[in-house]
Amino acid sequence: MANPEHLAKLKEGVEAWNRWRRENESLVPDLSEADLTGANLFRVNLSMANLTKTNLDGANLSGANLTKADLSWANLHRANLGGASLSEALLYYTCLVKADLYGAYLDRANLFAADLRGADLSKADLRNANLVGTNLENATIIDSNIYGINVWDIKKDGLKQQDLIIAPYTSFEAITIDDLEIAQFIYLLLNNQKFRDVIEAVTSKAVLILGRFTEERKKILDAIRDELRSRNFLPILFDFEKPATRDLTETVSILAKLSRFVIADLTDAKSIPQELSHIVPNMPSLPVIPLILKGQQEYSMFEHWPRYPWVLSVFEYDGEAHLIENLSIGVIDPAERKVQEIRNKK
């Protein structure tokens, strides 16, 4: 509960409160659970204050100093926080629905599971902020600095995001992008040598294996995987449930973009036609090596793909033993030659 003396002092007005704060610099104000609905707190000094569960619905906190304040579980619905300093503030589970945070300083703020639905974060400073589990549905983030943010499991349906800045300082040469999660990835890719090394290692060794996962067909795909592994490749066998939030074909396309080449077994094809229709026309740097069991016919639409230079001739195999015995000469070697051919043209 709020300290009655602190609450009484605040009600004397912002000028009196700020003067009191200057005279009592070491004091930590306790306004927890206070009802400050609609209060006019323009440029108030609430740095370090305990504001847990405080009701600030519709309050005017524009230009306020809330540095290192604890606003966990507070209600800031429709509050005006334009230009306010919330640096290092604790905002766990805080309600900021439709709040105005235009130009606010939220650097190093902890917004874990905060509710920012419909909030305006345009031109806000979000450097090194924690946005894990944050609800950003229908919020607006434009021209905001998001360098170093931690973004996981956010809700972003209807989120308007544009010209997001990735720079440690305002005067620093910046990269801009229009998606929070992709911005986090791009910055890591460009600025973390170890991360770049991992990406390079994956793309230089990964081989995506596509095919039909009936019991009989999977034995062939498993044999290909094991043989590739023994030859120091990193086989990716697409044999798992699709992620709940991802379309199956989109997932395959992402894996393909991380691969050195693709091996596609056309035998008894089912999902292969759709997967190749997203891979072949859109990835000219990715060799595709089709295989088929002797005696089978390619599916009807496959005739469109051999005209693409990065799609190799179909390798016909006569059972598992024949395929593994000829995997190098019939599959891996042609794929590697095509990889080098494509790279030499760049």
Residue among 255, 263, 257, 299 at smallest CA distance from 282: 257
**198-217 mean pLDDT:** 78
pLDDT, tens only, 105-148? 999 999 999 999 999 999 999 999 999 999 999 999 999 999 88
Least confident of 193-202, 239-248, 252-261: 239-248
pLDDT, tens only, 281-325? 999 999 999 999 999 888 888 888 989 999 999 999 999 999 999
**204-222 mean pLDDT:** 84
pTM more than 0.75? no
Rounded to the nearest angstrom, the gap between the alpha carbon of residue 310 and the centroid of all alpha carbons in its chain is 31
What is the CATH number assigned to the segment(s) 1-191? 2.160.20.80
Read off φ and ψ for residue 334, nearest 5 degrees. Answer: -60, -35
Tokens 């595709």, residue?
288
In the chain, which residues fall in CATH 3.40.50.450? Answer: 204-345
pLDDT at site 189:
66
Maximum CA extent, the chain: 91
pLDDT, tens only, 47-99? 999 999 999 999 999 999 999 999 999 999 999 999 999 999 999 999 999 99
pLDDT, tens only, 98-115? 999 999 999 999 999 999
Q: What is the DSSP letter of 303?
A: G
Rounded to the nearest angstrom, the gap between the alpha carbon of residue 206 and the centroid of all alpha carbons in its chain is 22
Within the chain, residue ranges assigned H as helices are 4-10, 14-23, 180-191, 193-205, 215-230, 248-257, 272-279, 320-325, 327, 333-345
pLDDT, tens only, 279-289? 999 999 999 99
Q: What is the Rg, in whole angstroms, of the alpha carbon atoms belonging to the chain?
A: 29
In the chain, which residues fall in CATH 2.160.20.80? Answer: 1-191
Query: Which comes out higher in pLDDT, residue 172 or 267?
Result: 267
pLDDT at site 255:
84
pLDDT at site 234:
87
Tell me the residue length of the chain.
346
Fold of 204-345: Rossmann fold (3.40.50)
pLDDT over 70 at 174, yes or no:
no
